[in-house]
Structure 1
Amino acid sequence: MPRRGERKTRIRSKGPANTQVTPGRIGVRVFLEQRRGRTIKHSIDPSDYRCTTLAAQLADEWLKMTRHAALSGGGSEYSGAVRSFAQFTDKHLSEAGVNPVDVRLDGHGVDLVEVLYAWEGDLRQKHGVKSKQPYRLARALLALIEQRASVDSGIPEHLRQRAKAPASYGKPTPQPLDEFSNAERIALRDAARAAVRATEARLARGRELLAAGTDPREGGWRDLPNLLWATQMRMVNSQTLQTHLPAKTRWWPPEVVDLLPAPEGQSRRPGVRVLGQELGRLLFPDEYDLQAFRILLLLGMADTTPEELHDLQLDDIEFTDGGLRLVQTKMRAARIRADLHPEVDLEVVSEDGEGQEFTGGGAWDVPGLMRRLLAATALIREIFDPEPYLFVAVRQLLGGGELTGKVAQFRTPQRCRFSFWITSQRDAQGRPLDISEPHEVRRLRKTTKVVRAVALGGTVSDLAGDDHHVEVYRGHYAHGTTAHIMAGRAINRSQEWVFQRVVHKPVLVDEAAEERLEESEVAGELGMDIEVAKAMRAGELDMGLVNCRNPYDSPQRTDNKLCHVAPGMCMLCRNAVIFYSQLPRLLLMSDRIERMRTALPPPRWHAIYGQQRAALDEVFAECADRLPAARQQITEMELNLDVPLGQRTEFDR
């Protein structure tokens, strides 16, 4: 213990002079996704933007959202929203004289709500009013901010409220894809079948040459079979071919030169890189070749989406005695189901004329196509050992030109796309296929659904099948042109049925029956007695257009008074009887009705005069040979139809 008055000097530690803490580089946010046999990297680097802190905070929320919600595609909408907003913030704040470095979600120096509104307006101008991209990006960014605000109390209140509100611009109503027409479907089917045959013939030739090949280090590099042998052994690349083949293409063997595509607008043929690609195509199919199998399978599988077909693996495919069993996963519905595709029973007729039925020989049904596809890609699986997916293709790597087997994506390069395949096809006459745009592979599924609807008919619940709810089918498939045509035909048939049974039409009496009208049998057949028949022949029951069995029994009134709607409604009256001598009047009435077609809107004209027009057409169809003479009679005698004054103002306006 120190005594009173004694003080012990304490030695204090001193830190380094002029210490300045420099923030390190903010790390890159990375999300790795396994998709169809390959690892896809999604990343956001906050240091790419001047608003580094804001970009880092949003990127953290993107990673959290993608991982917790298990979003496919790496949460592309959310990552795209972060990049777009960070890039816009740099530009917008710099133009306003504000340093973007200072902006952050939990800061109060910059009003991010105003920046958000400006960003949404910029998206609207950039993408257009019909694009869904502004709505998607804004909704994604607001979701990230709201997620951050739920755990960070430093977020300003007005930014919290903005994050809870919807996007400034609503989602535009999309224009649904229409199906391919039946003629287009047949054209695509025939072109795909021809392409499958050509691919199989090319592969068969390549494997025949391969059987005759030997090691080119012993047998020489200028023989095509030896080059194919080296291709199978993965010895071929651009450097190898350049070393062992002459420098000039014209010095190559003719059978090797013939593999190269003909030059188009170039002074010379392609070189060793294209040769390596063509050597691979003699042994293995590429994505362009697989496009034909893809089209035929989608046309044959009504309950399969393109995504489900692409995700099929070898373990999901099982050949049974009854056909083909496929285990498919619908990602959006999180549903796994097994579908059985039966095989087509073929009949072989022997020489003695007796037929023998057997199962399993269908070449173009789903099981047959699967067998052919697996056979075409078998060598790829043997040589390159790719991921066990159904669609695997050979691809040439950039740089060295080596061949590798990959899962088909049908995206890049351009040659692998569905649209490129369509534009490169020709019909039997050598003309390009006339296929309506857009060239979307999803339209194949809609086409298959429509074919099923045409074949099965029935109610919407029947057509939806077991892979859709009724409302999903109604909203996504029942809007197609073919479905509308079918619905229109059904409505027309029902209306015609009602018209034939409910609407009473006039009776047309020919000249022979008119002469015998006073006979009891003829009059009874026409629904009148002898006295009415005599009065009709004498012209006493002429209503100005046709004759009437009983003018005091009009269906238009119930007070037993004289009909007041003749001749305007005579063609729809059960009492009307027409003589051949009255055909000129009917033609004049027909002309008046046609004049009204130009004076009234189509719906109103159809409601008022549509049935009369149809009744007149039926009468004219029965006596078409007499109409020219009736027209000539109108001209020679200058006939006019006697119409009451009240109706004349309507007909003649």
Structure 2
Amino acid sequence: MQLADEWVEYVAATAITAHARTYHMAISRLCEYVDKTLGPQAEAVSLTDQGLFDLLVDWELALPESYAPASTYPSVMAAGLRVLVVRRDDHPDRDVAPDLAKWARGPALLGSGEKKERDEFERQEKRVLVRAAWQSVHATRKRLDEGWAMAEQGQHPDDGSWTSIADLLWGLAREQITPDDIRRRLPPSREWPPDLAAFAAGTDRDPHPQTARLQLARQLFARLYPHTFDLHAFRVLLMDATGYTSEEVTGFGEGQVEFLPKGVRLTLIKNRAGLLRHRAFRDQPAPADRPEPKSEGDEKITVDWPRREVSAVVRQLLDMTTRVRAKAPHVTGTLFVVAAVRGDYTPEFDKWKPQSRNSFSNWLDAAGVEIKGDRHIGRMRKSVKVEKAIVTEGRISDAADDHTEETFAGHYAQGTTLRILSGRTIATAQQHWFDKALNRVDGPTVVSGPEDIDQKLLEGTGLSAQEAEDLIAGQLDMGVSHCKDPYQGPYSRPGELCAVAPLRCLECRNAWILPSNLPQLLLFERHLERLRTVLTPQAFGRLWGQSWVNLRAVLNDRTPEERAQALKHIEAGQAVLDLPLAANTEFDA
């Protein structure tokens, strides 16, 4: 009762309406929890009780148990109850226990709920969705054209018949009759001719006697004007073609459309972010690889390629809603306008308002499109973002062209987009290390090319004539590479023969790797692979990380044919890898 009094006064003082029910829910949930916890003693509980602190804390922490993980209701209800307790504590004539007031003014124990971001449509789903949208547009166009053509064939129902579809369409098209006239002038549905009964029923088997006239009026209007269901297809096509939100593609009117010689410029408004954008969308030329219509004998085979140009969709939408916009001059901020017949037989020409029975999910069912996961139109925008991320190779600065990078990362970097971004990061890092391995000053020099490396070629890379001759003769072969000066190695004293070959040759500036070294490199790769299985990643990276990166860079530069030929040499016993005995001691490390 104490909390209820505060709630009543708070609602009256603030005049809130939308969230008033939340406070009521919080009070009810708390009372239920206290009743369940204290049993018969609950009746005597008051906000002045010192021992109620632990009970309120337990109640707040238990709230999420009845809701989904991402629900915000628990935190909202807990915050609402805190407001009521604080309000009561602020009143000079109302007592609240000090620890309860401290709880109410303290930090919230619950978060606002983890928001689960929707993933994009699969590419096949999106392709089917766009195709279904175009089919819906064509079907709507055909239905309206047939309806107006039939209306031209009719006459006033008083001169013709009130049970003639053509005459009823004629009267509605010319505003000579109203839906209410249909209600008053038509006979009972049991006396209708079969064609009129079937027309009114639509996809249903038979019109219901109680609603038959209303069904008929709505079916007649649907032959003359687009209805709510029809415009879902245009929203899908505009979101696919522009990549902008549902709010933006349905929020521009005729005054915000400017057709260009090869495209269209739209003024897009995003109310939530307070953004006004002027965007030009150019028509894309036909792809060069698009197959031309083929012929089989005398019969032409044509392929219906749906156009994704924004200008084509906008022109269709403008044309299809012309008559509705003429009857709804009060609607200027959107092209998404529809005609309907209300339950009281009043015709309504107004902006598009998808209702629960005409939702995007219902449109998917009617179009026969199967979608996995959440049936939300917002996933279409994410699908376009994924395509943009693919085109930009995962560069956030390019993919987030209509967002801040933080917003893009928070709302769109999930699912496929996240994998693309991650793959781009990994590929960039690998390329950096590969390039560093091949171009580092103190690393090996790799000579790739045909097997017949001649002395003149080697001399052109900076070797002396004697060094080039020795390399070709194999006199400087150190196992996995050749060495231009084994007595001046970076790992030994000057003048002494290198003591770490061939284990460190892939990290040495004196090393020269020729195509003939490929079999030994493959054997060395096997050796390092074995070490990776027995050493911790940290130990392997510290001891062999640079050699492994350099080795992978060299091997990745070889063609499959070269690798296959080298494997044949290994299998034939023509290539061996001589390693010092110390190379195996790391197995005990």
**TM bucket, shorter chain:** 0.7 to 0.9
Once residues 423 and 537 of structure 2 are traced to their aligned partners in structure 1, the CA distance between those partners, rounded to angstroms, is 20
Seen in structure 2, the aligned counterparts of structure 1 residues 500 and 208 have a Cα distance that, compared at 3 Å, is farther
Paired residues for 1:447-596 under 5 Å: 447-449=383-385, 451=387, 464-465=400-401, 468-478=403-413, 480-481=417-418, 482-502=420-440, 504-507=444-447, 512-513=452-453, 517=455, 521-525=456-460, 527-533=462-468, 535-536=470-471, 540-556=475-491, 561-577=496-512, 582-596=517-531
- Count matched residues: 549
Deviation of the 1:562 alpha carbon: 3.4
Seen in structure 2, the aligned counterparts of structure 1 residues 158 and 401 have a Cα distance that, compared at 3 Å, is farther
Deviation of the 1:63 alpha carbon: 6.1
Paired residues for 1:59-138 under 5 Å: 59-62=8-11, 75=18, 78-95=19-36, 96-97=38-39, 108=48, 113=53, 116-138=56-78
- 5+ long unaligned stretches in structure 1: 1-50, 68-73, 348-361, 427-431
Deviation of the 1:208 alpha carbon: 1.6
Once residues 196 and 441 of structure 1 are traced to their aligned partners in structure 2, the CA distance between those partners, rounded to angstroms, is 17
Deviation of the 1:214 alpha carbon: 2.8
| Aligned-partner residue type, residue 501 of structure 1 | N
In structure 1, what is the equivalent of residue 290 of structure 2? none
2:338, 2:351 within 8 Å by CA — same for their partners in 1?
yes
> Which of the numbers 193, 198, 202 marks the counterpart of 1:257?
198
DSSP-derived class of the 2:317 partner: helix
Residue deviations 1:235-289 (CA, integer Å, cap 9, x gap): 26996698344368xx612x763675556xxxx4454365554333222222221
In structure 2, what is the equivalent of residue 623 of structure 1? 562
Seen in structure 2, the aligned counterparts of structure 1 residues 543 and 91 have a Cα distance that, compared at 3 Å, is same
Deviation of the 1:535 alpha carbon: 4.8
Once residues 363 and 83 of structure 1 are traced to their aligned partners in structure 2, the CA distance between those partners, rounded to angstroms, is 53
Seen in structure 2, the aligned counterparts of structure 1 residues 228 and 600 have a Cα distance that, compared at 3 Å, is farther
DSSP-derived class of the 2:226 partner: coil
Once residues 547 and 342 of structure 1 are traced to their aligned partners in structure 2, the CA distance between those partners, rounded to angstroms, is 59
Deviation of the 1:342 alpha carbon: 5.5
> Which of the numbers 576, 579, 584 marks the counterpart of 1:643?
579
1:505, 1:572 within 8 Å by CA — same for their partners in 2?
no
Deviation of the 1:234 alpha carbon: 3.5
Once residues 528 and 491 of structure 1 are traced to their aligned partners in structure 2, the CA distance between those partners, rounded to angstroms, is 32
1:588, 1:640 within 8 Å by CA — same for their partners in 2?
yes
> Which of the numbers 164, 167, 178 marks the counterpart of 2:105?
164
> Which of the numbers 412, 416, 419 marks the counterpart of 2:356?
412
Alignment of 1:225 onto 2:166: yes
Structure 1 window deviating more from structure 2 (555-564 vs 187-196): it is: 555-564
TM-score, scaled relative to structure 2 = 0.75
- The alignment-based identity, stated in percent, is 25
DSSP-derived class of the 2:179 partner: coil
1:326, 1:338 within 8 Å by CA — same for their partners in 2?
yes
1:139, 1:166 within 8 Å by CA — same for their partners in 2?
no
Seen in structure 2, the aligned counterparts of structure 1 residues 589 and 468 have a Cα distance that, compared at 3 Å, is closer
In structure 2, what is the equivalent of residue 393 of structure 1? 338
Please give the root-mean-square deviation of Cα atoms over the aligned residues, in Å.
4.5
Seen in structure 2, the aligned counterparts of structure 1 residues 632 and 241 have a Cα distance that, compared at 3 Å, is farther
| Aligned-partner residue type, residue 77 of structure 2 | L
In structure 1, what is the equivalent of residue 316 of structure 2? 372
Once residues 493 and 93 of structure 2 are traced to their aligned partners in structure 1, the CA distance between those partners, rounded to angstroms, is 81
Once residues 125 and 194 of structure 1 are traced to their aligned partners in structure 2, the CA distance between those partners, rounded to angstroms, is 45
DSSP-derived class of the 2:65 partner: helix
> Which of the numbers 179, 185, 192 marks the counterpart of 1:235?
179
Deviation of the 1:88 alpha carbon: 1.6
Residue deviations 1:53-104 (CA, integer Å, cap 9, x gap): 633532543565575xxxxxx54xx334213213224433444456999988
Once residues 187 and 642 of structure 1 are traced to their aligned partners in structure 2, the CA distance between those partners, rounded to angstroms, is 60
DSSP-derived class of the 1:190 partner: helix
In structure 1, what is the equivalent of residue 134 of structure 2? 193
In structure 2, what is the equivalent of residue 421 of structure 1? 363
Seen in structure 2, the aligned counterparts of structure 1 residues 129 and 444 have a Cα distance that, compared at 3 Å, is closer
**Which has the larger Rg?**
1
| Aligned-partner residue type, residue 548 of structure 1 | C
Deviation of the 1:209 alpha carbon: 1.6
1:506, 1:575 within 8 Å by CA — same for their partners in 2?
no
Deviation of the 1:162 alpha carbon: 2.0
Seen in structure 2, the aligned counterparts of structure 1 residues 595 and 116 have a Cα distance that, compared at 3 Å, is same
Once residues 490 and 407 of structure 1 are traced to their aligned partners in structure 2, the CA distance between those partners, rounded to angstroms, is 49
Deviation of the 1:550 alpha carbon: 1.6
1:341, 1:367 within 8 Å by CA — same for their partners in 2?
no
Deviation of the 1:412 alpha carbon: 0.6
Seen in structure 2, the aligned counterparts of structure 1 residues 488 and 526 have a Cα distance that, compared at 3 Å, is closer
2:388, 2:399 within 8 Å by CA — same for their partners in 1?
yes
2:26, 2:78 within 8 Å by CA — same for their partners in 1?
no
Deviation of the 1:292 alpha carbon: 1.3
DSSP-derived class of the 2:500 partner: coil
1:316, 1:328 within 8 Å by CA — same for their partners in 2?
no
Deviation of the 1:113 alpha carbon: 4.9
Residue deviations 1:316-343 (CA, integer Å, cap 9, x gap): 7454779545362523x4x363525456
DSSP-derived class of the 2:572 partner: helix
Alignment of 1:139 onto 2:63: no
In structure 2, what is the equivalent of residue 4 of structure 1? none
Structure 1 window deviating more from structure 2 (53-62 vs 82-91): it is: 53-62
| Aligned-partner residue type, residue 363 of structure 2 | W
Paired residues for 1:427-442 under 5 Å: 432=369, 435-442=371-378
Once residues 482 and 182 of structure 2 are traced to their aligned partners in structure 1, the CA distance between those partners, rounded to angstroms, is 95
1:592, 1:651 within 8 Å by CA — same for their partners in 2?
no
| Aligned-partner residue type, residue 585 of structure 1 | Q
Once residues 192 and 55 of structure 1 are traced to their aligned partners in structure 2, the CA distance between those partners, rounded to angstroms, is 51
In structure 2, what is the equivalent of residue 54 of structure 1? 3
Once residues 22 and 135 of structure 2 are traced to their aligned partners in structure 1, the CA distance between those partners, rounded to angstroms, is 45
In structure 2, what is the equivalent of residue 10 of structure 1? none
Seen in structure 2, the aligned counterparts of structure 1 residues 505 and 313 have a Cα distance that, compared at 3 Å, is closer
